[in-house]
Amino acid sequence: MSKSSSFFGQDTLSPDNTGHSLGSLGTFALWFGANIVVTTILTGMLLVPDLRFTTAITIVLIGSLIGAIPLLLVGLMGQRTGLPSMALTRRAYGPLGSKMISLVNMGVLIAWSCIQALLAGMSLNYAIEATTGYSNLPLFVILCETVVVLIVLRGHLGIELVERWAALAMAGLTVIVLYQLYQHYDVSALFDMPIESRNGITLGIAFDIVIATAFSWMSSAADYNRNCKTSRIAIWATYFGYIIAAIVAMGLGATISGLSILNGLEQTYDPTRLLAEFGFGLPAALVIFFSVMTTNVMAVYSATLSCMNVAPSMSFWKPALIIGLVTIFGALIPGILDQFQNFLLLVGALFIPAFSVMIVDYYLIGQEGYTAKLLDSSRQLGRPTAKIAVGAYLIGAALAAYWALISPPPFGASLPVFIITGGLYWLGARLLTRPNASIKSAQEEPLS
Q: What is the pLDDT of residues 214-271, one digit of tens each?
A: 887 888 899 999 989 999 999 999 999 999 999 998 998 899 889 888 888 888 877 7
Judge whether residue 76 has pLDDT over 90: yes
Lowest mean pLDDT among 232-236, 261-265, 331-335, 420-424: 331-335
**Which whole number is the average pLDDT over 80-93?**
90
The predicted pLDDT at position 315 comes to 82
- 286 vs 380, higher pLDDT: 286
7 band by pLDDT with thresholds 50, 70 and 90: low
Distance, in Å, from the CA atom of 297 to the CA atom of 11, rounded to the nearest integer, reads 14
pLDDT tens digits, 183-208: 888 888 899 888 888 877 888 888 88
Give buried/exposed letters for 27-51 (b at 16+ CB in 10 A, else e): bbbbbbbbbbbbbbbbbbbbbbbbb
* Spatial CB neighbours of 435, under 8 Å, sequence gap ≥ 6: 365, 366, 384, 385, 429
Q: Domain 20-341 classified CATH 1.10.4160.10? A: yes
The C-alpha torsion from 326 through 332 and 335 to 336, rounded to 10°, is: 30
Distance, in Å, from the CA atom of 398 to the CA atom of 414, rounded to the nearest integer, reads 12
**β-pair partners for 165:** none
Task: State CA 132 to chain mean position distance.
Answer: 34
Judge whether residue 383 has pLDDT over 70: no
Lowest mean pLDDT among 7-21, 156-170, 245-259, 423-437: 7-21
What integer best gives the mean pLDDT of the chain? 81
439 band by pLDDT with thresholds 50, 70 and 90: very low
What pTM does this model have?
Answer: 0.83
**Which whole number is the average pLDDT over 276-300?**
76
Lowest mean pLDDT among 46-60, 225-239, 389-403: 389-403
107 band by pLDDT with thresholds 50, 70 and 90: confident
Residue 300 · residue 323 · CB < 8 Å: yes
Residue 11 · residue 155 · CB < 8 Å: yes
